[in-house]
Chains A and B, each alone.
Chain A
Amino acid sequence: MLTKGMLAKELKINLGLSLWMVFLTFPLVALKVDYLDKTLVWHLDNLLWVALSSFLISGVWRYFLHHYQPKERLNTGHRFSFAEALANEKAMLFFLCLLSISPLLTSTYQTSILITAMMYIALGLGLNIVVGMAGLLDLGYVAFYACGAYAYGLLNQYYGLGFWQVLLVGGFMAAFLGVILGFPVLRLRGDYLAIVTLGFGEIIRMVLENEEELTSGPSGIANIPKPSFFGAELSYHQNILFLFYIMLAILLLAIVITRRLQLSRIGRAWMAIRENEIAAEAMGIDLTKTKLTAFGIGAFWAGVVGVVFAAKSSFINPASFAFHESAIILSIVVLGGMGSILGVVLAALILVLLPEYLRFLAEYRMLFFGAIMVIMMVFRPQGLISRMRAGYDRDPEMNAGENLDD
């Protein structure tokens, strides 16, 4: 397929691209100014790495760009296939069984990492409702997460309320905040919505940082208690184990509820809005109500997970709720395939566990996340697992999808 001439041409182009990258990165990578000695320090070896890696990357990139045309762009769904659905169900069940026994097999440290992974899955599921299903790009999702965490931290500090009392309260407070913040931005188009929600997220964080009398500012709230087990004193290990099963229960609930919602009237209304707002409105969907429900339910899960986060780390401060946290959750949704539940689960596991076990990659973690978002949008906008769309002409499949949830 590739003739010799084409190959030579390709090589030439890639060589040119890698030289261009060397030029781009030159002032930041190769030159260091040493102000004390008044000398320039050259790092030409770094340039060599840049040249080599960009040569390879550009080759792969160009190959895929020309030979792999994504069949579907973001807005067109994938046909629902029965075998695929069954495989997904089985995969999900298998995964959940494995997860539920894993703390018995692994150490406390591993269990605690798994809790974090499950928290991100739940956050991803919540954001998936807003971004994946309803198509409202929310960049301030972390504000609701912060709301839940601070609800527990503050209610515990001032009123001595326990984990169980706050768990739902935190969720509902976040949902309330979601609806309140959702109201003014309803009229905005996608890109404006993104910026405004980003602004909201930052405002919430700054308020937490500056209202020192209430939230003790950047130094945060410490000594937040872990959930009690019917009043019994638990060791550290038992506490983590207990928290693991609480989080697992929350996660299961989140998965089941999200699935039910997805197939319900409101879920289909969300997807209709995502596909075409005007057409959806013309079909009789109440835009305000539908969008606010998406915001509210999405925020609810963030609030609940926020409470768990506060209990797990027993210390919270505004720095935990910066923009990059929203970005991580968003890249989970994007990588997983917008609107797909199994995709979100897989993506969260990959993005949370991989850096945890590949420690040497830790500092490249966010770099990797950024690159993933670009690469996924260019090559596979439908995500790892493309979402499935039920069709009316294949009734058995619809029923299959519903029965398996029960």
Chain B
Amino acid sequence: MSTDGFQYFLELFFSGLTRGSIYALIALGYTMVYGIIGLINFAHGEVYMIAAFVGLTAAGACSIMGLGTISILIIALMAAMIWAAAYGYTIEKVAYSPLRGSSRLAPLISAIGMSIFLREYVILVQTADFVSFPSLIFEIADFKFLGGYIQPTEMLITLVSVVVMVTLFLFMGYSKSGKAMRAIEQDQEMARLLGVNVDKVISLTFMTGSALAAVGAILISSHIGQINYNIGFIVGIKAFTAAVLGGIGSIPGAALGGLILGLTESFATGYVSSDYEDVFAFSLLVLILILRPAGLLGTSTQEKV
């Protein structure tokens, strides 16, 4: 009996870990954009959704051409990342960049508008129904880890996410563009004076964040097996919760926040009730914002007048 309980716990733990790593991937996009221009990119969840649809089309096209599973996965990932980055770039140019320097409310409303527009665009050109997504990962990862407590796909998702995140840390820490991003984050005006092309770096930030969301989109769609136009909304809010939980603007914070949120959700649905799966995330978000608005790893700055 107790081993059953322990096994159940482990299952919940690993499924929470999987969710958490996906949330973390998407939360990174929010946190990077927020860090650099102080804007909540409402359309980020929609980029995630569009990436899933691009991946679906690419995977479909490849499977018709008769490619193997691994090459399908890689091509679908690449296509999703490229188009997600392109969408992220375009969204920034259309909806945010003309508004730079205006009040806080204007870009936020513009972002909500963009998000609605993209959702409707996908409903119109694709479909409003759920469509099934091929399980690209499962066939690759069909072997046993840890005595069967963890599903192979879950293991693979977590691994890929960790690899992507470590790459991002290295990119932010050591590459020239990463340094430029951090410089703009600290002081945009000063960075501009020192010869950093601010517009270019902001675009790059949007593209990087979107590409990360695309990785998350392909992995999780393949794991769950179906997508529709609405997936970006809920996942977007949850990833945002993760970003806030870890302290928005902080990259390790986003990773930590994603993990905590994923585990909380998994245990809460497993032990309390599955009806209120999404309510837990929202309640967590409200609680953090009220109790510790700066997040776990964020530093609270006093606003000066």
Interface residues of chain A, those whose CB is within 8 Å of chain B, are: 20, 23-25, 27-29, 31, 33, 35, 38-40, 46, 65, 73-75, 135, 137, 139, 184-185, 187-192, 194-196, 198-200, 202-203, 206-207, 210, 278, 323-324, 327, 330-331, 334, 363-364, 366-367, 369-378, 381
Given A190-B105, A376-B109, 12 extra CB contacts under 8 A: A23-B86, A24-B90, A28-B53, A39-B64, A75-B103, A188-B289, A196-B285, A196-B289, A206-B278, A206-B279, A330-B109, A374-B95
Contact in complex: A324, B95 (CB < 8 Å): no
Contact in complex: A40, B64 (CB < 8 Å): yes
Contact in complex: B293, A187 (CB < 8 Å): yes
Contact in complex: B109, A35 (CB < 8 Å): no
User: In whole angstroms, what is the CA distance A29 to B127 when docked?
Assistant: 11
CB-CB contacts below 8 Å: B90-111 with A? 90, 94-95, 98-99, 101-110
Main secondary structure on A side of the interface with B: helix
Contact in complex: B99, A192 (CB < 8 Å): no
User: In the complex, how many angstroms separate the beta carbon of B270 from the nearest chain A beta carbon?
Assistant: 17
Q: List 25 A-B contacts (CB under 8 A).
A: A20-B90, A24-B86, A25-B125, A27-B58, A27-B83, A33-B61, A35-B60, A38-B64, A39-B64, A65-B98, A75-B102, A139-B112, A184-B286, A185-B289, A187-B293, A188-B293, A190-B108, A191-B104, A195-B40, A195-B240, A324-B116, A369-B116, A370-B113, A371-B113, A377-B109
Contacts of A366 in B (CB 8 A): 116, 119-120
User: In the complex, how many angstroms separate the beta carbon of B218 from the nearest chain A beta carbon?
Assistant: 13
User: In whole angstroms, what is the CA distance A203 to B293 when docked?
Assistant: 20
What 3 A-B pairs are tightest by C-beta distance, nearest first?
A373-B113, A33-B60, A370-B117
Contacts of B276 in A (CB 8 A): 206, 210
User: In the complex, how many angstroms separate the beta carbon of A178 from the nearest chain B beta carbon?
Assistant: 15
User: In whole angstroms, what is the CA distance A364 to B116 when docked?
Assistant: 11
User: In the complex, how many angstroms separate the beta carbon of B257 from the nearest chain A beta carbon?
Assistant: 14
Contacts of A381 in B (CB 8 A): 102, 106
Contact in complex: A374, B103 (CB < 8 Å): no
Give the contacting residue for A327; candidates B101, B116, B282; CB below 8 A: B116
Known contacts A27-B83, A28-B53; A73 and B125 CB within 8 A of each other:
no
Contacts of B145 in A (CB 8 A): none
Task: Determine if B32 is an interface residue (Cβ-Cβ < 8 Å).
Answer: no
Contacts of B119 in A (CB 8 A): 366, 370
Contact in complex: A192, B109 (CB < 8 Å): no
Give the contacting residue for A28; candidates B39, B109, B125, B303; CB below 8 A: B125
